[in-house]
Structure formats: structure tokens, C-alpha cells
């Protein structure tokens, strides 16, 4: 909401790997408890926000929303900085390959 002054349609990308197999039920249950409404990919991509090309090429740009934030010269909120700093990328890489 902060970046676009409105809610946007989001895309949930799920990779097929061991970590997903272990966590998918918990993830979907969490979304269900938050009353998340699922829509099709074409419907999500119909949101014109996805026409934006943030032109960010980095090893750690992470999400589309983060790329947009960086392209606008905005800093990540503290909670996002802490999350990104805590990601165990090497461990995840081993689990996901």
C-alpha cells in the first residue's frame, strides 16, 4: 500500500523443492487464517503495477516490491532490513537444490 497508495494484486511464487514440501501446508494455513483470497495468475498480472520495470540488477534485490522501493531511492523499513539480514541464504541454497 505504501509504494503505490493502494492495495495491489500479489503473485505468490512457490518453488518445487524439499523446503516447500515441508512448509506448504503451514504457509497456506496461515494465509487462510488471514482470509487471503486467491486469484489466478492472469488476474494478478492484470494489475498495471506489473508494467513497472524497476531496472534493479543485484544479487540481493529479493522481491519485486523491494526492487521498486530501491529504484525510487527509498530505504527498506527496519523490519525488512532485519528480515533480509537474517536470511540464511547458504542454508536455504542447500535445502532448495
Q: What is the pLDDT of residues 55-86, one digit of tens each?
A: 988 776 678 888 899 899 998 889 888 888 88
Please answer whether residues 11 and 44 qualify as being in contact, where contact means their C-beta atoms are separated by less than 8 angstroms: yes
Q: Which three cell numbers stand for residue 52?
A: 513497472
Query: pLDDT, tens digit, for every residue of 27-66?
Result: 999 999 999 999 999 999 999 999 999 998 877 667 888 8
pTM above 0.75? no
Amino acid at each position: 500500500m505504501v509504494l503505490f497508495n493502494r492495495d495491489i494484486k500479489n503473485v505468490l511464487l512457490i518453488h518445487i523443492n524439499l523446503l516447500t514440501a515441508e512448509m506448504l501446508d503451514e504457509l497456506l494455513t496461515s494465509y487462510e487464517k488471514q482470509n487471503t483470497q486467491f486469484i489466478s495468475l492472469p488476474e494478478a498480472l492484470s494489475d498495471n503495477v506489473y508494467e513497472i520495470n524497476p531496472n534493479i540488477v543485484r544479487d540481493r534485490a529479493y522481491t519485486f516490491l523491494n526492487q521498486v522501493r530501491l529504484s525510487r531511492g527509498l530505504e527498506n523499513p527496519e523490519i525488512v532490513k532485519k528480515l533480509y539480514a537474517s536470511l540464511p541464504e547458504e542454508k536455504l541454497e542447500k535445502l532448495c537444490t
